[in-house]
Amino acid sequence: MSLIEISSSPVTLRLNRDLVRTIKRGHPWVYADALRDLPSAPAGSPAVLLDNRKGQPVARGFYDPDCPLALRICETDPEVKLDDRWAERRLRAALALRSSFSATGPTTGFRAINGEGDGLPGLVADLYGDTGVIKLDGEGPIGFWNVAEIGAWLAKERALVRVFERQKERGAAGRAIVGDEPDRPVSFLEHGLSFTADVVRGQKTGFFLDQRENRQLIRAWSADARVLNIFSYTGGFSLAAGAGKAAEVTSVDIAPAAIATAQEHWRLNGFPESQHTGIVGDAFDFLADATRQRQRWNVVILDPPSFAPNRESVPQAMSAYQKVIEAGARVVASQGLLAVASCSSHIDLTMFLECCEEGISQARRRGTVLTITGQPADHPSPLALPEFRYLKFVLLRLD
């Protein structure tokens, strides 16, 4: 068994500024502009990092000379050797963390490995029942981690039937590394609700597992309510509302396949078909039409895709968030709830709350914050890496 690909001696890198304190506190990323030079080496090569003053070793990790994020730190003790024993120790700690918390109702869909949050940089693994999905974040992790051996290890530890590797690039073909490639979406449970995940072609690794506890929040607030789920994808929030005894639920997504799956999920859980309406359409167009028709819902959920894929797009993204929040606020009934989410790491909580305030104000409404949440416990993040806490979820009551 070889969980990591180490075929060369470590590359030596040296800081050009004093970042030692930040690194020792647990920030696991060193960007190329913080290094004195960028030696030629294959992506994923092991590396030793030296400080900028005396050239003393401060950390070990792996290197990607062609990426702005040039070094991912695995250990802040430079004496620790990065080998299979180290990797397996970290993997076992990740699985042990997941066994330490329990969900309300059976849950078989969760994140087993969350990259830097588990001290395993660039390595993500999600479990859906008896199926595992692994995803590596770029060429550095691809060159460092032996994904086939990690898949085999995970399958053995969790008694999985199959493990599938997804590629980072949208549309790129994945591969089965344990068992066969699934020819249909795989089944799993979330808080007792039945779902399926298209682990081969679906968004992320097949489902948005990071919103699990936020769906429970909507479930708790949906009794007897008219619920509108915008950017619904395959109906996660819609099913939560149905389980919470909503009077009726409307799911809106631009992808016909997503709406078809949301309808199927509704039937799969035995909810009355008359209480769910799936609509294929553009979110902004739907909300504009609903406003003109003076339609109102007691609970409106806005969970858009990331509007800010990079720092340069932040101003445009904030404008987009404000517009969709304004449009959503216009169709919330008096004393109703507006739930809004952002999955962009480049939009921090303060910025997102500014978007909420501006959007709600433009809709001539006033809001009261009921709660602010983020990622669940199976998506841990280093305390020193706030950009890893990408998910913001704000639940408001509107006047």
pLDDT digits (tens, 9 = 90+) for 213-225: 999 999 999 999 9
Distance CA 19, CA 84 (A): 28
CA angle 178, 180, 183 (to 5 degrees): 140
Distance CA 395, CA 368 (A): 9
Confidence at residue 104, expressed as pLDDT on a 0 to 100 scale: 58
Confidence at residue 103, expressed as pLDDT on a 0 to 100 scale: 54
260 has a pLDDT exceeding 70: yes
Confidence at residue 312, expressed as pLDDT on a 0 to 100 scale: 87
Q: Which domains does the chain have, with CATH numbers?
A: 11-75 (2.30.130.10), 84-197 (3.30.750.80), 209-398 (3.40.50.150)
Confidence at residue 7, expressed as pLDDT on a 0 to 100 scale: 74
pLDDT tens digits, residue range 157-166?
A: 999 999 999 9
Q: What does the pLDDT average to over 45-67?
A: 97
pLDDT tens digits, residue range 149-205?
A: 999 999 999 999 999 999 877 667 799 999 999 999 999 999 999 999 999 999 999
- pLDDT classification of 330: cutoffs 50, 70, 90: very high
Tell me what the pLDDT averaged over the chain comes to.
95
Q: Are 50 and 56 in contact (CB under 8 A)?
A: yes
| Cross-strand pairs, 367 | 398
347-351 contact pairs (CB < 8 A, 24+): 347/307, 347/308, 347/314, 347/317, 347/318, 347/321, 347/392, 348/386, 349/392, 351/314, 351/318
H or E, element range at 14:
strand 11-14
Confidence at residue 90, expressed as pLDDT on a 0 to 100 scale: 98
- pLDDT classification of 1: cutoffs 50, 70, 90: low
Q: What does the pLDDT average to over 342-362?
A: 96
Which residues, 6+ apart, have CB-to-CB distance to 315 below 8 Å? Answer: none
Amino acid in the structure at residue 32: A
Q: Are 367 and 338 in contact (CB under 8 A)?
A: yes
Confidence at residue 364, expressed as pLDDT on a 0 to 100 scale: 98
Q: Are 4 and 83 in contact (CB under 8 A)?
A: yes
Q: What does the pLDDT average to over 322-350?
A: 96
Share of the chain above pLDDT 70, in %: 98
Q: Are 83 and 39 in contact (CB under 8 A)?
A: no
DSSP string spanning 318-386? HHHHHHHHHHHHTTEEEEEEEEEEE--TTS-HHHHHHHHHHHHHHTT--EEEEEEE---TTS---TT-G
Confidence at residue 171, expressed as pLDDT on a 0 to 100 scale: 64
Distance CA 199, CA 335 (A): 39
Better-scored residue on pLDDT, 142 or 312 = 142
Distance CA 46, CA 52 (A): 19
Q: Helix 147-158 and helix 84-99: axis angle, to 10°?
A: 40
